Structures are given as structure tokens and as C-alpha cells.
Amino acid sequence: MSSAAKAILNQDPHALRDPKENNLEIAIGHEVRAFRKKLGITGADLASATGISLGMLSKIENGNTSPSLTTLQSLARALGVPVTAFFRRFEEVRNAVFVKAGEGLEIERRGTRAGHQYNLLGHIGNSSSGLQVEPYLITLTADSDVFPTFQHDGLELIYMLEGEVKYRHADKLYTMLPGDSLFFDADAPHGPEVLVNLPIRFLSIISYPDRTGV
């Protein structure tokens, strides 16, 4: 297992971030680093342009110190952004979407037909994660000889709730029963191929890069 994979598995999903007062320093540091990298300059370059020592700049970018307004003004001038840009992440509103049972937005996707129901369970635009995530509850109640094959950007997780289906991903078929899951690169052709036991219900969670700001 790679060191990157081990680091991900060692993360505590229930861990809390530092208290709010410390989060401000972290937010400022994140923005300073992001703007610096966007310009393609090194820490040494930015330190030289601002007169801030490289050690102090490192502390700022890592959220380990609270920079003075004068320091923030120097950084803002060197990076070509307003001082307020450094507070963007700290002031961002974090949204949540709550959907009561049976109240998901029913939508039509390519190939939708009678007996095939797609309920979008929520959507958050412009999230701080840089990702778009679409969670669907998919219900199949009518048999069909031909089911549409999907192919799109991002990653997808299928989690079976009811029934049995043979689900295709690329050149492989997976027999899926309640409790089974399939996580895959959605750029390969995929979709239910054989509806073995109806009704079939599964969660489909699709994630892909947020390009709305590009």
C-alpha cells in the first residue's frame, strides 16, 4: 500500500478542526498558499517580494501564526489580490441539504423510461471542497431488454438497497445484492445490464471536479 493511501486510511473521519479562533489563521494560510501557487512562484520568491522571512511565511501558510495587518497588506500587494481575499474561506457559508423520505427531486436522465425513477437527494453548488457531488436514489420497477449505458466524468459509488442486478463497468459484470457496493471510475461505460430481481433500489453517488468557476 502506498504512503498516500495509508495517510488517507489513517485519517480520523470524526476529528474536529481547531477552535474557531485558530481556524482564521488556517484559512488565511490556505489562501496565501493558493494564491502563491496560482502565480507559480516559490515561497522564497514571495518572501523576497514582501520582506517577510521565509520561516515566517511558512508559519503563515501553515496557519501557525496570526499575521499583522501590515504583513497581510504586503502579501496582498505581492500577490495582486485585495486583503479581504485572505478571509474568503473563513467567512464562507457551509451548506447542508436535508431531504425527507420520499421528497427527493425526481429528475429525468438520458434513457429514463417508465419504471425507472431517479430521485436527486441534494445538491450544493460552489462548495469549499472543489467538488460537485450528486447523490441519487434510483428505483427500477419495470423490466427492460435494453438499459442505457452511462459514461461521464468523475467517480461513482453504487450501494445496493433492494433487489438484484448485474451491473456493468467497462468489460466486467458485477452481481449486486443488498449491502453490496461498487466504486468506480465513471469515465468507463457503466450501468445496470441485467435486472435479476425487481424492484431494484440503489444509491448512486457521483463526484466530479467543480468547473463552474473555470
Task: Name the strand (E) or helix (H) holding 131.
Answer: strand 131-140
Task: Say if residue 9's pLDDT is above 90.
Answer: no
Ordered alpha helix ranges (H), the chain: 3-9, 20-39, 43-50, 54-61, 69-79, 88-91
Question: How many residues belong to the chain?
Answer: 214
Beta pairing class for 190-209 and 105-107: unpaired
CA atoms within 13 A on the CB side of 42: 5
Predicted confidence (pLDDT) per residue in 159-185, tens digit: 999 999 999 999 999 999 999 999 999
pLDDT band at 95 (very low <50, low <70, confident <90, very high): low
Q: Which CATH architecture has domain 24-91?
A: Orthogonal Bundle (1.10)
Query: Nearest 10 degrees: CA dihedral of 130, 61, 13, 93?
Result: -50
Q: What is the pLDDT of residue 174?
A: 93
CATH 2.60.120.10 location in the chain: 105-209
User: Can you name the CATH fold of 105-209?
Assistant: Jelly Rolls (2.60.120)
Question: Which residue did the predictor score with more confidence, 13 or 60?
Answer: 60
Question: Which residue did the predictor score with more confidence, 213 or 201?
Answer: 201
Predicted confidence (pLDDT) per residue in 127-160, tens digit: 555 678 888 888 888 766 556 688 888 889 999 9
Query: With contact defined as beta carbons under 8 Å apart, do 30 and 89 qualify?
Result: yes
CATH 1.10.260.40 location in the chain: 24-91
Q: What is the pLDDT of residue 172?
A: 92
Predicted confidence (pLDDT) per residue in 35-85, tens digit: 999 899 999 999 999 999 999 999 999 988 888 989 999 999 999 999 888
Query: With contact defined as beta carbons under 8 Å apart, do 79 and 46 qualify?
Result: yes
- 3-class SS of residue 114: coil
